[in-house]
């Protein structure tokens, strides 16, 4: 995790710094506080998700997290931000979440029931963290007007600093990981920030109740790759769930 955060910090530094200079960007105390808070939340998110993967099946932990997150954030946005999604958009959000949970139905983590319960627990915990940071980041980019690229880059910088002591204590392992998986690390460092910059950009002018569920297209991609390349089972159920998610995204767009 430290490796991809550090790599992302270096990869996006020229763009973030250039935009800050061109736009004469200055950050006040409240804006910096929100960036620090987001850094801590995203650190908790990554650690919770990674721990869930360590004890359970990806096809159990990730969909649970991604199903719980948008459901909670959409409900909270309606209450806190007074958002008023149309009935069709709400139907789309519910359809996407239902598709995610259908994909997890009946899955079991490798090992015993204790590991399964742990995997479910970490999946749900990750979903709660997703909901909290989604609402937090929405306020940061739309109300406080922090540029998404600078906001996300500050997040990467913060996580790199916070995890540096752990990396230094395990430097031999860090070097070994880089030697074995440098291309994967660079891929994550490029794609993970880019995906969330796009989300933050959408949150600037789009209600949370639309953006949060639409992000679950990632589950559709994962289902197709799992069936095609990883020979995972439950093909019929997975494809039905994925089709429902696509329908939900269409509802969101039309709503």
Share of the chain above pLDDT 90, in %: 47
**At 253, is the pLDDT very low, low, confident or very high (cuts 50, 70, 90)?**
low
| Residues 6 or more apart in contact with residue 38 via CB below 8 angstroms | 133, 136, 137, 140, 151, 155
Higher pLDDT, 89 or 230: 89
Least confident of 20-24, 89-93, 148-152: 89-93
pLDDT at 131 over 80: yes
pLDDT at 194 over 80: yes
Burial readout 123-144 (b: 16 or more C-beta within 10 A, e: otherwise) = bbbbbbbbbbbbbebbebbbee
Higher pLDDT, 139 or 103: 139
Distance CA 95, CA 43 (A): 29
| Residues 6 or more apart in contact with residue 56 via CB below 8 angstroms | 109, 110, 115, 116, 118, 119, 120, 122, 123
Instruction: Give the per-residue pLDDT at 82.
Output: 79
Distance CA 181, CA 209 (A): 37
Residue range 133-150, pLDDT digits in tens: 999 999 999 999 999 999
**At 69, is the pLDDT very low, low, confident or very high (cuts 50, 70, 90)?**
confident
Instruction: Give the per-residue pLDDT at 23.
Output: 82
- Indicate the Cα dihedral angle 123, 163, 73, 117, nearest 10°: 10
How high does pLDDT run on average in the chain? 85
pLDDT at 107 over 60: no
**At 113, is the pLDDT very low, low, confident or very high (cuts 50, 70, 90)?**
confident
The two most distant CA atoms of the chain are separated, in Å, by 56
pLDDT at 114 over 90: no
Instruction: Give the per-residue pLDDT at 186.
Output: 97
Other residues' Cβ atoms within 10 Å of the Cβ of residue 36: 13
Angle made by CA atoms 186, 187, 190, in degrees to the nearest 5: 85
- Average pLDDT of span 112-138: 87
Would you call 217 helix, strand, or coil by DSSP? Answer: helix
Instruction: Give the per-residue pLDDT at 13.
Output: 96
Instruction: Give the per-residue pLDDT at 39.
Output: 97
Residue range 207-218, pLDDT digits in tens: 887 787 777 777
Higher pLDDT, 185 or 229: 185
Least confident of 8-17, 30-39, 165-174, 220-229: 220-229
Instruction: Give the per-residue pLDDT at 185.
Output: 96
Other residues' Cβ atoms within 10 Å of the Cβ of residue 253: 12
Distance CA 76, CA 141 (A): 17
- Please name the residue ranges forming H helices in the chain: 2-22, 29-55, 58-80, 87-104, 113-142, 148-169, 171-205, 208-214, 217-229, 235-254
């Amino acid at each position: 995790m430290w490796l991809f955060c550090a790599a992302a910090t270096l990869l996006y530094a020229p763009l973030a710094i250039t935009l800050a200079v061109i736009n004469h960007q200055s950050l006040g105390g409240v804006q910096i506080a929100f960036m620090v808070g987001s850094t801590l939340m995203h650190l908790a998110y990554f650690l919770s998700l990674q721990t869930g993967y360590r004890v359970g099946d990806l096809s159990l932990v990730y969909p649970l997290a991604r199903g719980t997150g948008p459901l909670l954030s959409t409900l909270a946005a309606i209450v806190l931000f007074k958002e008023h999604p149309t009935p069709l958009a709400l139907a789309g959000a519910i359809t996407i979440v239902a598709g995610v949970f259908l994909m997890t139905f009946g899955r079991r983590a490798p090992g015993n029931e204790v590991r399964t319960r742990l995997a479910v627990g970490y999946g749900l915990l990750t979903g709660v963290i997703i909901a909290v940071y989604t609402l937090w980041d929405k306020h940061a980019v739309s109300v406080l007007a922090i540029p998404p690229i600078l906001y996300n880059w500050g997040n990467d910088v913060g996580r790199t600093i916070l995890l540096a002591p752990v990396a230094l204590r395990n430097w031999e392992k860090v070097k070994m990981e880089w030697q074995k998986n440098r291309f994967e690390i660079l891929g994550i460092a490029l794609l993970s920030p880019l995906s969330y910059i796009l989300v933050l950009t959408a949150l600037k002018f789009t209600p949370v109740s639309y953006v949060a569920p639409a992000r679950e297209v990632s589950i559709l991609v994962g289902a197709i790759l799992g069936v095609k390349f990883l020979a995972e089972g439950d093909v019929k159920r997975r494809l039905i769930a994925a089709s429902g998610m696509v329908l939900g995204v269409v509802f969101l767009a039309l709503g």
